[in-house]
Structure 1
């Protein structure tokens, strides 16, 4: 049996976990303070939250990310994970993402597979978390070398498996001439973004040949944006890994606007996406004007280039890495 720790911020960690769990040959137990999703097939260990009040020395003098002294929620959370490890004896624990949970599992003699995140992650806590991992998975293609540019050297333990999406990739299609109003889909996220209704309204008013649809926390939230993505002529999105994976699966040209995140996560991803290999225009912020030209330029990109980013087999390759790490068992 495999354990899978799922961070509770945003929705990208959860959607990635669901895709990887489906591809694994072993039973998978989810560990999270998020509610169990309906599509999760295995067991689910509900964890207490570790948030809620002022924190004392939360980073352990710079050695960790979140381990505040005297925090009852953190204590209960870690105790519940430790008790579960002792009772279930998992073959490996996938961590997406928490250095502290990874350390807890490794101190119990459980192989740890860490899901890496883009960004500048050379702080002591990240270096420690990667160092104790049996394997590290990057959900980006090997050609996107800058996505893991902030990772410490990991030799053969780092596996770039390709993007991981909830959706099977669509058939690639070349740009087509417009027939009636075209569709611009704004794909916001649960983690917050600068895609306000006012800004989108101004962009819509300036582009009369386009219909705009705003999905996300500040627009219309939908759990399944797949149909809207397939119908889009251009997708305007943040640079979160799951959002890019789903745009790539839909094979739609994109305008990518990275949002502020710790460790420059989205800015680092956007730097890679600005390269010539990917069908995306990358902007530093939401532009106040110029939308007719931007949408026209983006619509002419050949979105078949997303094939190299998301070929639909990232979850399977991640599962293979996890299974390999799980074969290391104690003799006791």
Structure 2
């Protein structure tokens, strides 16, 4: 049995869990998260207590002197979730735990003798805290191609990383054909549930500044997509944030794109858009630009096209991740090839 811890911030971690688990047909995958069990999840699930409940008494020293990211003293939710994890390990004896993502969970599992596979994230991850999780992990799972990130990593991280490319819920689907000619081409704007730093007015101004383009916006909560794959198929250019799942979904659809970084810890999305720009896969921007730049940006993305996305996402990312997890521990070194 494999455990998979999915962080509660945004929807991407749970989406990635489900994408990978779909290819682990011969092994039980046990989900663990502070998020409730997803409606589409059929496997076992442990709903962990929150360690960031509003109004709870917490010390100011949530980082334990800079050794951890989040470990508030005296927080009952933290104590409860760690006791849940310990009881789960004791009762079910998992052969490994995928951690997506939490330094504290990764270290706690390893201290209980459970090997960890830590999902790597882009950005500056060589700080003291990340080093604890990455150094102690048996393997690192990187949902990007080898050429994208990790050039400044320590050598021992690079030796145990699995670069599987983008992981998307749309893995395995045939890329969508580009829409035919029409009077007004379409821009699809896609936001995630992890928050955004772009105001509605800025999007409206960009749409007004591009009269030859129709803008359609999709975001969780206020304007959700009923069928994102169909929305992607109807788009001539996609404008999206630089989250791993959003990028992987646009890549799966092979859509020309402008990818705009949103503010995240450790420069996560800035690193992704920089890699996309450097590899020539999409127009990558570190921030939302002025309205008068949007005509040139969407036209540049349209000229660039979407065929290059095949270098980011083969459509087999989730399957490859599952294959690595299945084979983990079978080789003499303990790592799959």
> Which bin holds the TM-score, normalised by the shorter protein?
over 0.9
Contact 1:120 1:150 in 2 (8 A): no
The change in CA–CA distance for 1:326 and 1:96 in structure 2 (over 3 A counts) is: farther
2:334 aligns to what?
none
Alignment of 1:85-124 (within 5 A): 85-124=89-128
Q: Which residue does 1:43 correspond to in 2?
A: 44
Shift of 1:142: 1.5
The one of 79, 82, 98 aligned to 2:86:
82
Q: Who is 1:140 aligned against?
A: 144
Q: How far is 1:188 from its partner?
A: 0.8
Change (3 A) 1:32 1:89: same
How much has 1:143 moved relative to structure 2?
2.2
Q: Which has the higher contact order (CA 8 A, sep 6+)?
A: 1
Per the alignment, residue 327 of structure 2 pairs with 324
* Aligned counterparts of 1:151 and 1:224: Cα–Cα separation in 2: 38
Gaps of 5+ in 2: 332-337
Aligned match of 2:6? 6
Q: CA deviation at 1:209?
A: 1.9
Conserved? CA contact 2:179–2:233, under 8 Å: no
Matches within 5 A, 1:1-332: 1-24=1-24, 25-52=26-53, 53=56, 54-144=58-148, 147-149=149-151, 151-153=153-155, 154-168=157-171, 171-172=174-175, 178-217=181-220, 220-222=223-225, 224-278=227-281, 280-288=282-290, 289-325=292-328, 327=330
CA displacement at 1:240 relative to structure 2: 0.6
8 Å CA contact 1:187–1:216 kept in 2: the answer is yes
2 CA distance for matches of 1:126 and 1:163?
A: 22
Q: Partners of 2:139 and 2:106 in 1: how far apart?
A: 12
Are the counterparts in 2 of residues 234 and 298 from structure 1 also a CA contact under 8 Å? yes
Residue 224 (structure 1) shift: 4.4
Q: Deviations over 1:277-308 (max 9, x none)?
A: 41x11223212222222222211112111111
CA RMSD between the two structures: 2.0
TM-score by length of 1: 0.92
In structure 1, what is the Cα distance between the partners aligned to 2:87 and 2:111?
Answer: 13
Aligned residue for 2:304, secondary structure, equals coil
Note the C-alpha offset of 1:200. Answer: 1.5
Q: Between Structure 1 and Structure 2, how many residues are aligned? A: 326
Distance 1:231 1:316, change over 3 A: same
**Residues in 2 aligned to 1:324 and 1:171: alpha-carbon distance in whole angstroms:** 27
**Post-superposition CA distance 1:112-143 (Å, at most 9, x none):** 11000001011111101011111101000112
**Cα distance between partner residues in 1 of 2:212 and 2:158:** 51
In structure 1, the gaps of 5 or more residues are none
Shift of 1:173: 6.8
Structure 2 counterpart SS, 1:48? coil
CA-to-aligned-CA distance 1:89-129 (integer Å, 9 cap, x gap): 11110000011111111111111110000010111111010
Q: 1:247: how far off?
A: 0.4
Distance 1:287 1:231 in 2: 24
Deviations 1:36-77 (A, max 9, x none): 112222100011100023334211111111111111100000
